[in-house]
Amino acid sequence: MLASASRVARPFTISRRPAVRAMASAASDWLKQDKRRMLHVVYRVGDMQKHIDWYTKLLGMKLLRYRDIPEGKYSNAFLGYNSEEKGFALELTYNYGVDSYDIGEGFGHFGVAAPDVYKLAETIRGGGGKITREPGPVKGGATVIAFAEDPTGYKWELIQRAKTEEPLCQVMLRVGDLEKSQAWYRDVLGMQVLRTRDNPEYKYTLGFVGYGPEEDNCVIELTYNYGRTEYSKGNAYAQVALSTDDVYKTAEQIRAAGGTITREPGPVPGIGTKILACTDPDGYKYVFVDSEDFLKELEAAAK
């Protein structure tokens, strides 16, 4: 039995020195005040149009916006089921001249919810897509799922749900210490630990974290495989972007919680949007984006 599945995730230890306590208190207050949500997940593809076609024609997503950055030699396509102002999106990145990537072992899958997984699987198959796990109930449960692969080999879990506000519902990552990861996502990112499910028969444990209930929000699914502490990352999966009302206050809060900042808060050259970046205990990257600047980006793209 996995030890972390039977213990409640604990917050990081904070020094008792007065100055540090005051800083920690201010950071904790900011964590409660900040209105955060998951914006998009970023990953790299070798053929942009092939992926846009796959997601729009087979999964029923919309192409929300597209931008080409010739000076940076890359392009981005944003896809999803809802507008970016309120929904979660995919941000596909094509780097000029690069046609393949290593997905690695750490990234697991993305998830999409649909009212009829059997029908969705047939749509994917009929459009030339690859189904790697036929529709049917999960082992030991009643939820109907299936698995598909996109043109690069990214896995997609198709999850049957009668109704949802956010069909783009999961990003699954494998971690080496579930308890440590859950504490980090709660104390650093400010997410809720939604549930933990241990599966001793199959030697793995799942932990779901996010900013709202699974039924109507995209969540991070953390997977711990018994006895496995490290995974290769590859160069395909990149990061998840999150909103924050103030990147500078969030940077202070992350430091106070014991997090590691890999990009100091400030504007992105040539764009002006303020961001900061940090990594979780397993090295997965998260980028905080200033909420007001993000909306300005969307307004500019709409013109």
Annotated binding site for Zn(2+): 91, 109, 157
Cross-strand pairs, 207: 196, 222
Annotated catalytic residue within 84, 122, 149, 157 = 157
What burial class does residue 78 get, using C-beta atoms within 10 Å of its C-beta: 0-12 exposed, 13-18 middle, 19+ buried?
A: buried
Say which residue the tokens 């596909």 belong to: 92
CA distance 204 to 267: 41
Q: CA angle 57-61-65, nearest 5°?
A: 110
Active-site residue, 230 included: no
Walk across the sheet containing 130-137 and list its strands.
130-137, 144-149, 155-160, 107-114, 168-174, 219-225, 204-210, 192-199
What burial class does residue 199 get, using C-beta atoms within 10 Å of its C-beta: 0-12 exposed, 13-18 middle, 19+ buried?
A: middle
CA distance 67 to 138: 39
CB atoms within 10 A of CB 20: 12
* Among 98, 101, 113, CA closest to 219: 113
| Catalytic annotation, residues | 157
